[in-house]
Amino acid sequence: MSADTSTTKFRHNTADNQVSHHTKLDNSFYCIKSMQWLLVIGIIVLLYSSLVGLLNILFPEKHLDWDNINTDVLNFPETFTWGVATAAHQIEGHNVNNWTQFEDRENKESSGSACDHWNRWQDDHNLLVELGVSSYRFSIEWSRIEPNQGDWNEDAIQVYSDMIDSLISKGIEPMITLHHFSHPIWFEEKGGFYQQQNISYFVDYCSRIFPYFSDRVNKWCTVNEPDVFSIMGYHMGMFPPGLRSPLKAIRVMKNVMVAHGEVYHRLKHLNPNSYVGLAKNVTIFDPYRRWNLLHWLTTFALNYIWNGAIISALSRGKMYGKSVTKVKNSADFIGLNYYTHVLTSPFLPQTTEIDLPSRSHETVTEFGYPMYAEGLERATKWLNKLAIPIEITENGVADGEDSLRPTHLKRHLWVIADLIAKGVDIRSYYHWSLMDNFEWAEGYSMRFGLYHVDYENQQRTLRNSGKTYQQIISRHNK
């Protein structure tokens, strides 16, 4: 081998070695880089799943195994109050208020004669006796009592007064709601609860009407569902005035709570012994996909807007970052209206006409939302923060065929009995509703009654679920 050849070989070898050395370096560089990336991704996945795991542990979506629970065994204390609930505009018929105005303007189904309760209330009180309830929650219609501003209709006041006497003579305790979604057109035209200065009209009305009845009526609900009223009317556009602005809805909700606080203090001043609260709809929001952080974020936001803000107003005098001082501690009891939970994602339907999602094992009710009695327990957890008695002021189901209502009723009562046994201070249950009635945006299509109503001839017929309720009550009233 010549010296030249060996030098060339050596050079080649050195060059090869250098190339392979560089390649090795490059490879290990890329290897380290991709390991770093993998590490970063791994850490992100770990953090994400720990966070989601933690959220799942902290906020479980409880589901009971109903097949293995005997809901026929229900134990309630003797002092428990059994009731049913209605609202003036949904049953009375021929009102002239913000709702009838909205029904006409939006071409909605008209409430018309509703259940013609204004003319048939004596007979309807007999239905209460037939059921065996010891209390009846109903509302008085501001637009009947003050149809024009400052114009007081003594005849209408007298009818409500007669209703109260009739109930008491039958051993049924009245619970009156002062505002259940409807009010006079003159109040609506001034801007209703959207305008803070209008709150005084409502407060004056309540202070004026209260002394007529407060000698005989002890239980008062100032307002029904400030949450539903404001969100359906000002954000979802499905209740009057039909607007679609979340900010307006929040403003109205706050004003309604301020109105509640003012009314509470006025009524307590007029009669310190009366028992005054409000009916709060607690809807539980759960993430649709429990691994999706966006669904969790939406859930937290909605739970705060719908439930947390009102609880915070009552417990801390603060709502949406603003002070509502007179609202703090302004309730002797909290009324709970409980219907369902809503599975939440950032793309929630903007109208209730769209079917809401449900878990595969859940029964979907006619209204499109799932039957979820377990949520009632979770709802009381929100309310327990207030440390005042809970009255279940509404619970029921739309079920024209009455195929779900008996089960629905028994499951919810089972949860309530269980909560009472665990020490939660729940004093009453008012089933929604005594009879089928005008279901607001859904008109007459949704039937919530323990009594079926034939709107052709206004005949009321006790449903099987009504009989079930009747039996449960009579078993406990012995």
Interface with ligand GAL (CB under 6 A) = 87, 90, 224-225, 228, 281, 337, 394, 432, 439-440, 448
Q: How far is the CB of 232 from ligand GAL (least distance, A)?
A: 9
Q: How far is the CB of 181 from ligand GAL (least distance, A)?
A: 7
Q: Which is nearer to ligand GAL, 235 or 295 (CB)?
A: 235
Q: How many other β-carbons are positioned within 10 Å of the β-carbon of residue 73?
A: 9
Q: Which is nearer to ligand GAL, 303 or 337 (CB)?
A: 337
Q: How far is the CB of 46 from ligand GAL (least distance, A)?
A: 43
Q: Which is nearer to ligand GAL, 336 or 343 (CB)?
A: 336
**Which residues, including other chains, have CB under 8 Å from residue 79's CB and lie 6 or more apart?**
427
Among 138, 141, 156, smallest CA distance to 100 is for: 141
Q: Which is nearer to ligand GAL, 52 or 390 (CB)?
A: 390
Q: Which is nearer to ligand GAL, 298 or 437 (CB)?
A: 437
Question: Which residue type, as a one-letter code, is found at position 261?
Answer: G
Q: How many other β-carbons are positioned within 10 Å of the β-carbon of residue 477?
A: 12
Q: Which is nearer to ligand GAL, 146 or 439 (CB)?
A: 439
What are the CA-CA distances from residue 415 to residues 129, 308, 409, 435 (Å)?
Answer: 26, 22, 10, 24
CB-based burial of residue 65 (10 Å sphere; 0-12 exposed, 13-18 middle, 19+ buried)?
exposed
Q: Which is nearer to ligand GAL, 337 or 428 (CB)?
A: 337
R_g of the chain, CA atoms, integer Å: 30
Q: How far is the CB of 52 from ligand GAL (least distance, A)?
A: 32
**Length of the chain as a residue count:** 478
Answer for the pair 286, 340: CB distance below 8 angstroms, yes or no.
Answer: no
Q: How far is the CB of 395 from ligand GAL (least distance, A)?
A: 9
**Residues 309, 302: Cα–Cα separation, whole Å:** 10
CA angle in degrees (0–180, nearest 5) for 432-261-274: 65
Answer for the pair 373, 412: CB distance below 8 angstroms, yes or no.
Answer: yes
